[in-house]
A = this chain, B = another copy of it.
């Protein structure tokens, strides 16, 4: 499982859209706080590999391009840990 504290360190680039507490700044973007970690990991992997389209997929693809599997696990654990 991921490391939420490490995930927080890695979440700086996510804050602009998903909010500082995982509640998105724009209602067209999803809240992430309390979301299921396996779902988030799958979404990040799909975005990175181009297996997820729709919504802001192209923007997300750029943001996740440099993430390792461990980064994804940590980010998912972090957002799951936030109070929705």
Contacts and interface: CB of A to CB of B under 8 A. Distances in A.
A22 to B, nearest CB: 11
A46 B35 contact: no
A27 interface: yes
Interface in A29-45: 29-31, 33-39, 42-43
A55 B24 CA distance: 21
A81 to B, nearest CB: 14
Contacts of A39: 24, 27-30, 55
Contact of A27 (B36, B51, B53): B36
Interface of A: 24, 27-31, 33-39, 42-43, 46-47, 51-55, 84
